[in-house]
Amino acid sequence: MPPAIEATGLRKAYRDLQVLDSIDLRVESGTVFSLLGPNGAGKTTTVRILATLTDADAGRARVAGHDVRAERSAVRRAISLTGQFAAVDELQTGAENLRMMARLSGLSRTAADRRATELLERFDLADAGRRPARTYSGGMRRRLDLAAGLVRDAEVIFLDEPTTGLDPRSRQELWQVVRDLAEGGTTVFLTTQYLEEADLLADRIAVMDAGRVVAEGTAAELKARVAGHRLDLVLATTADYERAALRLAGRAALHRSRETLTLGVPTDGTAAHVRALLDELDPERTDIARFSLHTATLDDVFLALTEKEQLTHV
């Protein structure tokens, strides 16, 4: 099947600020794709271009088989977009919100009523459908917002940081919605700052920093690219910490904290490599108070690939 999303050489600048610097993306149909990066990395701008809300300065993109510049209307008919904040009318009930969106999408009154009922059931909001949206929890508002974007069946759904500000329970509820959508064959394009979210949901992940894609792959591939494991070292004193950090100058580190006197360094996890690192960083065997070995996480990938200048600062 052709890809659900394909972008080549996307560039975007606002005056002197280069927001996107030659972005290439390919998202297969029926998968969950996560765009992961810090604030200002260019995630939302990428979504806005793919959703036809903003024109790229250069490059090409196709969504659901349609060119985002030449075939805007066809793209918009094929997609749904949910932004960072729930856009629901809090004075209306959940059912009224959905019926309104269905009518605005061109459905008849009867069809709008039927679709609203279906979506309330699908998003576990049937019992709350007659209540004003202002009485909903944050997670319920986000589910209602997502349901409103699906009054017409969409081939591709863009979720721009959909769990921002939600409590852990509400985040998990929305994660299940995303899983259900993907299992139903919908392509989900998810932007997030939450590493756990990308790890749990995404089939593939692209890591963005300063307007560029700096790495792409499955969660396992990205973790393996940085290191199989992380060796956390707790130094005995501030002077010991600074001495060990100096020995690491110019080399990759996955974590640095002067406050806790902790350094995290990549390792393959073998006893031989761990011993070699301990001997290299503490040749007198007096500086390191204790150490622990962990499997590498997406946090390690994120820090190593997006904040190298901070990681090399002592």
| pLDDT at res. 310 | 39
> For the chain, how many helices (H) and strands (E)?
12, 14
| pLDDT at res. 11 | 96
- The 3 state secondary structure assigned to 48-70 is HHHCCCCCCCEEEEEECCEECCC
Contacts with 269 (C-beta within 8 Å, 6 or more apart), sequence order: 228, 229, 293
What's the half-sphere exposure (Cβ side, CA atoms, 13 Å) at 185? 4
Average pLDDT over residues 214-226: 82
Report the chain's mean pLDDT, rounded to a whole number.
87
Average pLDDT over residues 68-74: 95
CA dist., res. 142 & res. 275, Å (int)? 49
- Of residues 96 and 229, more confidence is placed in 96
| pLDDT at res. 202 | 94
Beta strand 288-295 pairing with 5-14: unpaired
pLDDT in tens, 21-49: 999 999 999 999 999 888 888 999 999 99
pLDDT at 85 over 70: no
pLDDT in tens, 138-192: 888 888 988 888 888 789 999 988 887 777 887 888 888 888 888 888 999 999 8
| pLDDT at res. 313 | 31
Average pLDDT over residues 212-227: 82
| pLDDT at res. 309 | 36
- Of residues 87 and 61, more confidence is placed in 61
pLDDT in tens, 252-309: 667 788 899 999 888 888 899 999 999 999 998 999 999 998 876 777 777 666 654 3
Q: For residue 211, what are its two tokens?
A: 């307007």
| pLDDT at res. 212 | 92
| pLDDT at res. 307 | 54
pLDDT at 206 over 90: yes
- Count of Cβ atoms closer than 10 Å to residue 5 Cβ: 22
Task: CATH 3.30.70 in the chain: give the residue spans.
Answer: 226-311
Rounded percentage of the chain residues whose pLDDT exceeds 90: 50
Residue 253 bridge partners (DSSP): none
Specify the amino acid at residue 54: T
Task: CATH 3.40.50.300 in the chain: give the residue spans.
Answer: 5-217
* Domain 5-217 in this protein, CATH class: alpha beta
Start-end of H helices in 91-137: 94-104, 109-122
Helix (H, G, I), strand (E, B) or coil at 142: helix
CATH number of 226-311, picked from 1.10.1060, 2.60.40, 2.40.10, 3.30.70: 3.30.70
CA dist., res. 199 & res. 307, Å (int)? 19
H or E element that contains 205: strand 204-209
